[in-house]
Amino acid sequence: MRITVAGIGYVGLSMAVLLAQKNDVIAVDIIKEKVDLLNSRKSPIQDKELEEYLAEQIDVSMPTLRDQRPGLWATTDEQEAYKDAELVVVAAPTNYDIVRSYFDTSAVEAVLSSIMQINPEAIIVIKSTIPVGYTKSVREKMKSRNILFSPEFLRESRALYDNLYPSRIIVGVDEKDERLVGWGYRFAELLQEAAIKKDIPKLFIGFHEAEAIKLFANTYLAMRVGFFNELDTYAELKGFNTQQIIDGMCLDPRIGAHYNNPSFGYGGYCLPKDSKQLLANFEGVPESIIKAIIDSNRVRKDHIAEQILEKAGFDGKQDAEDYFKSDNPACVIGIYRLTMKSDSDNFRHSAIQGVIKRLKSYGAKIIIYEPTLKNGEEFYGDRVVNDLNTFKTDSNVIVANRFHSCLEDVRKKVYTRDIYQKD
C-alpha cells in the first residue's frame, strides 16, 4: 500500500518506520534538516530502536527506485507526498495554546487542507493528539467522510518499540459508515502486520470516545506522578524515608511498582498539555480531580525550588537579591540535564525548567550541563558548561531530576528526589 506520513516527530517517524517494513511509505515534513537526515538513514530524534531500524532494516530510497516495494523516503514536497497516497497518517504537532486554553490544531488543519487539494480521495488517519470533538468538527469543515482518528500511546525515546509492542490499537470511526469502519479495520491490520507483538487488543469506537481515551489516559498518568511526588514532599518535610513508604505501598498488586519514582514534576510532550486540554473539555461538567492534578504539579515545583535554595544556603530570611547578587561562588546552582528522561533529547516543558524559573526569580545564578547543547552557549540567559569536571567544580549545589553515576563523586552537592534511578 502507498502510505504517506505527515510530520517527522516522535509519532510520525516511528509510524513511518513501522509501516515501511511492509508498505511503500513517504514521510513529509516542512523542516528540510529532518528530511535530509532521514534520507541519510539517520534519525532526527533520539530513539535507539529507530536508529537501528533505519540503519539496518528499512530500505531508505526514492519510491521510483523501489517501484512500490516496502521502504521509506522523505520529502518536503507535499504534491509528491500526497498525490498517489491511498492512506495518509497525520502526525502534525498540536501544542497547547495558553492564551486560548486549548490545543493549537492549526498545523493539523494545514496538512488536511493540503491533502484535500491534492488528493481528496485518500483515507486520512489523524494520529495527532486533539481535543474531544475535533474529528467530527474537522470532517464537517473539510466536507470529507474520509477522516478517522487513532490515538497514539508512545513513550519518549521508546516510540518505535511501543509501536512494535503496542499495549492496544484504538481506532475512532463513524460507526454508521460501513466503508469508514472497514478502513478502520484495515488500518489496524496494517499496524498489527508490522508489529512484533501478536494478539494486540483492538477497539473500534466512536470519534469522541477515542479522543477522550487519549486525554484521560495521559491525565491519569500525570495524576500518578503527582501522587508519588506529593508523597515524597510529605516524607521529605517530615523526615521520613520515602522509599520505604513507596516500597510498602507498591507491594499491593492493585497499585503495582511502576511509575512511582519521585521527580521534580511531570513534563514533556504529552502530560502537561493533555491534562490541560482535558480540563478545558470539562467546561460545564462538575470536576475537582483534573484541576487538582495540574495544581499539584505547580505546587511540587514550588517546593523543589525552596528545597534547592535551602541547600544553597538561602534560608528565606535574608534578602534574596542581596544574597544572590554577590560574587560568592556558593551562590551558583548547577543544573544537571534539562531533558525529561534518560536517553532523550527532548526538554520541552521539562519540570526542571519550571524549577529554574523559580530559582531565577530569587536571583539565583544558574549554570547548565546539557550535552545536547553547545558548550559556552546560553539557554534562556544561563551559561551552558559541558565540561563535566568544570561544571562540578563551579556548582555549589547540583540539581538533578534524575541522578547519574557520573555525579557519585560529588553526591553531597547533589539535590535530587530520584530514588530508583529510573524514569
Which residues are designated catalytic?
A: 270
Distance CA 207, CA 211 (A): 6
C-alpha 64, offset from chain centre: 34
What stretch of H or E contains 360? helix 351-361
What distance in Å separates the CA atoms of residue 229 and residue 50, rounded to the nearest whole number?
Answer: 32
**Alpha helices, DSSP H only, in 239-344?**
242-250, 271-281, 289-311, 320-325
CA distance 208 to 197: 27
DSSP 380: T
Q: Hunting for cell 518535610 — which residue is that?
A: 237
The answer to whether the CB of 360 falls within 8 A of the CB of 367 is no
Classify the phi-psi angles of 68: left when phi > 0, otherwise alpha if psi is within -120 to 50, otherwise beta. Answer: left
Residue whose grid cell is 514533556: 268
- Over its C-alpha atoms, the chain yields an Rg (Å, rounded) of 23
**Scanning the structure block, which residue is given the C-alpha cell 522509599?**
243
268 phi-psi bin (left φ>0, alpha ψ -120 to 50, beta other):
left
CA–CA gap between residue 383 and residue 375 (Å, rounded) = 8
